[in-house]
């Protein structure tokens, strides 16, 4: 199985560069605006795009992302428009686009239907924060069929056995959750992040791992890249867009990515 996401992350690291993975919600504030915003992020320094699926019960999302996804839903976002967004973004940029979604919408849409439509739209795969590998049998089979990345989470509380399973079954990267709880910018990235990455390194010599939850500054992006394969930023991008539109979002992307490339 190939992985466009893994190839990008590894190529940057081998060149001595870092990786910035950026999140933006599909449909926020409208489908067209979210496509424009996502393309701007890819054109201004994001190496991998996380396109979020708005969901009515976002248990892991911080307030900035919750408010954005709620606005998308209130403005009429429908799940199937995720694929319209992916298709429009991948038509303009080569950046791998991973869809980040809770598992319930995928089940409602049909796991194979979702995978087929995502692959046909040019998507790289899925990040599934509330799906653990032990319960992912059908997704494992279908993602193999459609050659899609599958990103599982590693947490501070993951046992060595669970971490090995996450590493073995993830494709693209393992999402290292630096702090248990909801997403959102924090003044300091938890020291737990280093521990989670160390667990991934112990469990696998080949798995990529990127750190998310709490990263919002260029210093943090550089620091996280010093010991992992990438930094994941979400709330800081959504806030920038909310405050200043696409122009401010592009500037924030440049700011956070500027020190990652030689």
Q: Which residues are catalytic?
A: 50, 61
Q: How far apart are CA 262 and CA 246, in angstroms?
A: 26
Contacts of 127 (CB under 8 A, 6+ apart): 50, 98, 99, 100, 101, 151, 175
Tokens representing 65?
Answer: 């992302």
Q: Residue ranges of the alpha helices (H) in the chain?
A: 4-14, 31-43, 63-74, 81-92, 103-109, 111-120, 137-145, 160-169, 192-203, 218-225, 235-257
Q: What is the DSSP string of 74-136?
A: HTT--TTHHHHHHHHHHHH--S-EEEE--HHHHHHH-HHHHHHHHHHTT--EEE-TT--GGG-
Chain centroid offset of residue 149 CA: 11
With H, G, I as helix, E, B as strand and everything else as coil, classify residue 175. strand
9 φψ region: left (φ > 0), alpha (ψ -120 to 50), beta (else): alpha
């Amino acid at each position: 199985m190939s992985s466009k996401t893994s190839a990008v992350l590894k190529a940057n690291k081998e060149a001595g560069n870092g990786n910035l993975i950026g999140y933006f919600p599909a449909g926020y504030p409208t489908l067209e605006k979210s496509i424009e915003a996502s393309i701007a992020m890819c054109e201004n320094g994001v190496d991998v795009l996380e396109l979020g699926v708005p969901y009515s019960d976002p248990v892991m999302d911080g307030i900035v992302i919750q408010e954005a996804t709620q606005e998308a839903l209130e403005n009429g976002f429908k799940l199937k428009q995720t694929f319209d967004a992916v298709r429009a973004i991948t038509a303009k940029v080569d950046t791998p686009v991973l869809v980040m979604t809770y598992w319930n919408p995928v089940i409602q849409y049909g796991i194979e239907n979702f995978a087929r439509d995502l692959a046909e739209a040019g998507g790289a795969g899925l990040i599934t924060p509330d799906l653990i590998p032990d319960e992912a049998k059908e997704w494992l089979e279908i993602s193999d069929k459609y050659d899609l990345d599958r990103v599982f989470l590693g947490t501070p509380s993951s046992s060595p056995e669970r971490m090995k399973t996450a590493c073995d079954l993830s494709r693209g990267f393992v999402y290292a959750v630096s702090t248990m709880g909801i997403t959102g910018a924090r003044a300091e990235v938890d020291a737990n992040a280093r521990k989670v990455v160390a667990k991934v390194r112990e469990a696998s010599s080949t798995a990529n791992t990127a750190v998310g939850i709490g990263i919002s500054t260029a210093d943090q992006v550089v620091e996280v890249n010093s010991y992992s394969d990438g930094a994941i930023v979400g709330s800081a991008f959504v806030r920038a867009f909310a405050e200043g539109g696409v122009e401010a979002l592009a500037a924030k992307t440049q700011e956070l990515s500027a020190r990652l490339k030689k």
